[in-house]
Structure 1
Amino acid sequence: MARLFHAPLSPFCRKVRLSLAEKKIECELVEERYWEQDPDFMRRNPAGKVPILKIDGKILTESAAICEYLEELHPEPSLMPKSPEARHEVRRLVGWFDDKFHSEVTSKLLNERVYRKLQGTGYPDSSNVKAGSKAIKYHLDYMAWLLDHRRWLAGDHMTLADFAAAAHLSSLDYISDVDWNRSEAVKDWYAKIKSRPAFRSLLADQIPGFPPPAHYADLDF
Structure 2
Amino acid sequence: MQFYHHPLSMNSQKVRLALEEKNIDYTAFRVNPLKARNLDAEFFRQNPNGTLPMLKIGAHVLCESLPILQHIDKLNEPLGEYKDYRERAEEWIKKIDEWDAKPFTLTHVPDRMIRFFGKFKRRVLIARMAKNPDLANKYHSKLNSMHAMEEQLKDTQAVDSNRKELVLMLDDAEHQLAGTEFMAGDVFSVADAAFIPVLARIELLKLSEEYLRPRPKLLDYWERMKCRPSYKKVIGGYSSQLKQLKLVVPSICNVGIRNVLKRF
Normalising by structure 2, we get a TM-score of 0.65
1:120 aligned onto 2:118: yes
Q: Cα deviations across residues 106-154 of structure 1 (Å, max 9, x unaligned)?
A: 2332133348356326796483655555543333222111111222221
Q: Which contiguous aligned blocks of 4+ residues in structure 1 show a shift greater than 6 angstroms?
A: none
How far off is 1:166 after superposition?
Answer: 0.9
Whichever residue aligns with residue 172 of structure 2, its letter is Y
Whether the 8 Å CA contact 2:22–2:79 is kept in 1: the answer is no
Normalising by structure 1, we get a TM-score of 0.76
Residue number in structure 1 paired with 2:230: 198
Whether the 8 Å CA contact 2:5–2:28 is kept in 1: the answer is no
Whether the 8 Å CA contact 1:80–1:159 is kept in 2: the answer is yes
- The more displaced of 150-159 and 46-55 is 46-55
Residue number in structure 2 paired with 1:160: 190
Q: Cα deviations across residues 162-218 of structure 1 (Å, max 9, x unaligned)?
A: 111112221232111333211110011111112111112312222415xxxxxxxxx
Tell me the SS of whatever aligns to 1:149: coil
Higher percent of residues as helix? 2
Cα distance in 2 between the residues matched to 1:36 and 1:59: 15
How far off is 1:80 after superposition?
Answer: 4.1
* Structure having the higher Rg: 2
Whether the 8 Å CA contact 1:112–1:125 is kept in 2: the answer is no
Tell me the SS of whatever aligns to 1:150: coil
Residue number in structure 1 paired with 2:92: 93
Residue number in structure 2 paired with 1:19: 18
Residue number in structure 2 paired with 1:208: 248
Residue number in structure 2 paired with 1:79: 79
Whichever residue aligns with residue 107 of structure 1, its letter is K
Whether the 8 Å CA contact 1:11–1:168 is kept in 2: the answer is yes
Tell me the SS of whatever aligns to 1:113: coil
Cα distance in 1 between the residues matched to 2:69 and 2:163: 29
Cα distance in 2 between the residues matched to 1:134 and 1:166: 19
Residue number in structure 2 paired with 1:107: 102
Question: CA 1:10/1:4 → structure 2, altered by over 3 Å: closer, same or farther?
Answer: same
Whether the 8 Å CA contact 1:16–1:63 is kept in 2: the answer is yes
Residue number in structure 1 paired with 2:135: none
Q: Cα deviations across residues 62-85 of structure 1 (Å, max 9, x unaligned)?
A: 22222232233332xx414442x4
**Higher RCO structure (Cα 8 Å, ≥6 apart):** 2
Q: Cα deviations across residues 41-76 of structure 1 (Å, max 9, x unaligned)?
A: 11121233221123456433222222232233332x
Match of 1:182 among 201, 204, 214: 214
Whichever residue aligns with residue 17 of structure 2, its letter is L
Whether the 8 Å CA contact 1:6–1:51 is kept in 2: the answer is yes
Residue ranges of structure 2 left out of the alignment (5+ in a row): 120-149, 239-243, 250-264
Residue number in structure 2 paired with 1:49: 51
Residue number in structure 1 paired with 2:141: none
How far off is 1:20 after superposition?
Answer: 1.4
Cα distance in 1 between the residues matched to 2:168 and 2:7: 26
Residue ranges of structure 1 left out of the alignment (5+ in a row): 210-221
